[in-house]
Structure 1
Amino acid sequence: MKELQAIIQAYDLYKESNKMIALATVVQVDGSAYRRPGARMLVSEDGELTGAISGGCLEGDALRKAQTVIFQQKSLVVTYDTTDEDDQKFGIGLGCNGIIHLLIEPINYQSDINPIELLRIALQDRVSCRLVTVFSVKYSKQEQIGTKVLFKGSKLFGDKQHLEEDLWEKISHEIKTTDSANHSIVKFEELDDVQVFLEYIRPTIRILLFGAGNDTVPLAKMADILGMELVLIDGRKNLATSFRFPSARKIITGSGDEVVAQLEVDSFTAALLMTHNFEYEAMVLHDLIPLNLTYIGILGPKKKSQKLFERLQKQGVAVNQNPIFSPMGLDISAEGSEEIALSILAEIKAVFGGKSGSFLKEKNGPIHE
């Protein structure tokens, strides 16, 4: 998500100066690769790069290909085969051992539905989307249909005129049947001459950070690096300031029994209780539980949480402990506020990604399904 935000910001700057650009997108990967489908890199006519499509081994050649696309104003598909041990051009020594298909598209500033404008629409509000990109590996040198359509809720953005009717019907059907899927997929490989990348774009994770003490400052900074949206909540106006938390999208100050009502939440929202104030957090948790959040984290020992639960049960609040993580964070032997922040954010990432947070070396099969 951070990468998409950076690409849109760079696009706006290039548009002001009318600098020609192209967008390179990983649309299909066979085997192992450093980046997965959906990774992007924006290339300017003078060779500036925003984003990344690999660990650095493909960027140089992709830059040259993208500048050709800019000059010719014609999209194309480039295939990098890192399974060939005799081909050292692209840093095969990294051992990715995969085949990467890259779509490079020239960007037309005059179109309000060009690929980057569609990405902007996808990120404008907190609604999951499906971005449709059509390409052909078989006819890679021919001009590609490219990124044309965005499904966002019940709305459709883009231009489907370049899609044949039977292909459009297949895409529409696939969108409907995979509407609840929370991952990107490549379909219609069996047609041999065309592939469709259905990219799942979900809202960025929103962090409701209850606590403006010194120990939460590193967490706020790390959340910003990860592209997460931060909302800061505390009863202490002298601590909950934009000077101390410049990355906070919003700052709310007030008593524990009034702040939750001022919050906007959805299924991509995590709440972190880090105020070190038992009474404040008891009031906050009382109002958070009915919201059915995906993640509620409580800093501190289990005894503290147990007392909170007992308090709420006496007040008639049914405590569902499934979304409550206490003590929150992964067990990485964290010491100090920076390491604790790392532990907490790693756990949040795992929960929203549907993972256990275990060692990758213990996983059977590839890193990415």
Structure 2
Amino acid sequence: MDAADVVKGALRMPGHCVLASIVNVAGHAYRKAGSMMVLAEGGGKEGSLSPGCLEADLAEYVSAVLDGGKPQQVLYDMTFADDFAWGEAIGCGGKITILLEPVAGPLLIALTKADELLQKGYSVLFTRHMDDCLLPSRYSALPATLSAARPSRSPNNEQNLHVVSSPHCISFGQKDLQPVIAEGNYIAEGSYIAMLWHPKPRLVLFGAGDDARPVCDLALRVGFRVLVADFREGVCTPERFPGAEMACGFPSELESKLKIGNGDYVVIMSHQFQRDGEFLELALAASPHYIGIMGSTSRTERMLGGKPLPPMLHYPVGLPIAGDGPEEIAISIVAELISVKRGRTKYGVRDSGGVPRSRERKPDGAKQARY
């Protein structure tokens, strides 16, 4: 569950739930600093901070935090290998500090603002300004503008830039926050804690065949919004793709319906060479964050017709796990989407010498390679 889902879950139960956030990790932990979940009155929860070993204990704090109306920090020390107090599920061996905050008052206002920005497609810099007791005293939720290059820390931008891990930078106008280098989308520096929250990324799936259904299902489950597009009305239906948006039409008719942006992910898998090629042209013109094409390397290169290969292009789509059949191939595709989303090594694109790399396959070839 990503930040946008956690925020939405918290806003469904204002005054009756607690936002639990990991604010510090020393050693190993199941989730990183900045991870969040919602704990509700009566035992309900959304999200997780552990494999299941901390949530029951955290739930015991909910009533006291809600009744007192004040945040509280809880430290879990799991550094002793022979400590069975948390059950056999524990194996992290680290120290985790969790901030518990009642979703009410200033936090509720800030979360509402953050949700509005996320729904509009903005990334959000959510900042907690801490008091002398290291508890939040005020909150801010500001739109963050992402760029592809890390800025210099010159005097001209030193007061209004918050720098996170390369290649992203966030610019905002909060002058009391100094620029710092962070290791991810979370930073704690002196008297404030800042988290970078992203809107749910959108996957545009061109092709509504049976093999697209597990791709859609998995992508929805790992935090993507999914729009399925196809020129065949008989298969492009919400009954076949529950939870996804639908758009029917030929590629030439879809541009205005889809409005592909540079933050979108695109997977092309209609299995019709001409239509796939037309949709590829549409996608390339929009410069999305990622384009994956189903089919063999030779098929895609024939489709490209010698055009230069943009860096966002991945073919054959998916990580090289030698997947066979719709479900395994869907896992490889969604795994690659997650990998690109997290900024990990890209597969299926040019290597350092400019040569397209294809995925390794079993000798008889996976189904998606047979084109």
Name the TM-score, length of structure 1 as normaliser.
0.78
Name the aligned partner's letter for residue 220 of structure 2.
D
User: Could you say if the C-alpha distance between residues 353 and 329 of structure 1 is closer, same or farther in structure 2, counting changes exceeding 3 Å?
Assistant: same
1:85–1:92 Cα contact (<8 Å) kept: no
Is 1:271 the counterpart of 2:266 in the alignment? yes
CA distance in 2, matches of 1:237, 1:343: 27
User: Could you say if the C-alpha distance between residues 259 and 201 of structure 1 is closer, same or farther in structure 2, counting changes exceeding 3 Å?
Assistant: same
Gap runs ≥5 in structure 2 = 146-156, 171-183, 348-371
Is 1:26 the counterpart of 2:22 in the alignment? yes
SS at 2:39's partner residue? strand
User: Could you say if the C-alpha distance between residues 101 and 6 of structure 1 is closer, same or farther in structure 2, counting changes exceeding 3 Å?
Assistant: closer
> Which of the numbers 242, 249, 252 marks the counterpart of 1:257?
252
- Segment drifting more, 333-342 vs 92-101: 92-101
CA distance in 1, matches of 2:114, 2:3: 11
2:251–2:282 Cα contact (<8 Å) kept: no
1:28–1:37 Cα contact (<8 Å) kept: yes
1:268–1:294 Cα contact (<8 Å) kept: yes
CA distance in 1, matches of 2:10, 2:61: 20
Name the aligned partner's letter for residue 123 of structure 2.
S
Name the TM-score, length of structure 2 as normaliser.
0.78
CA distance in 1, matches of 2:262, 2:193: 25
1:103–1:146 Cα contact (<8 Å) kept: no
CA deviation string 1:126-165 (max 9, x = no partner): 11111112347x836xxx22661111148xxxxxxxxxxx
Larger helix fraction of residues: 1
Q: Cα RMSD between the aligned structures?
A: 2.7
How is 1:41-190 mapped onto 2 (pairs within 5 angstroms)? 41-85=37-81, 87-91=83-87, 94-108=90-104, 113-114=108-109, 116-135=111-130, 139=133, 144-145=135-136, 148-153=139-144, 176-178=161-163, 180-181=168-169, 183-189=184-190
CA distance in 1, matches of 2:286, 2:70: 49
SS at 1:243's partner residue? coil
SS at 1:214's partner residue? coil
Deviation at 1:332, TM superposition (A): 1.1
2:262–2:286 Cα contact (<8 Å) kept: no
CA distance in 2, matches of 1:349, 1:274: 18
CA distance in 2, matches of 1:264, 1:133: 35
User: Could you say if the C-alpha distance between residues 60 and 124 of structure 1 is closer, same or farther in structure 2, counting changes exceeding 3 Å?
Assistant: same
2:23–2:34 Cα contact (<8 Å) kept: yes
CA deviation string 1:57-108 (max 9, x = no partner): 2112211122211121111111112223464433486221222111111122
2:35–2:49 Cα contact (<8 Å) kept: yes
How is 1:187-206 mapped onto 2 (pairs within 5 angstroms)? 187-189=188-190, 194=191, 196-206=192-202
User: Could you say if the C-alpha distance between residues 279 and 122 of structure 1 is closer, same or farther in structure 2, counting changes exceeding 3 Å?
Assistant: same
Gap runs ≥5 in structure 1 = 155-171, 359-369
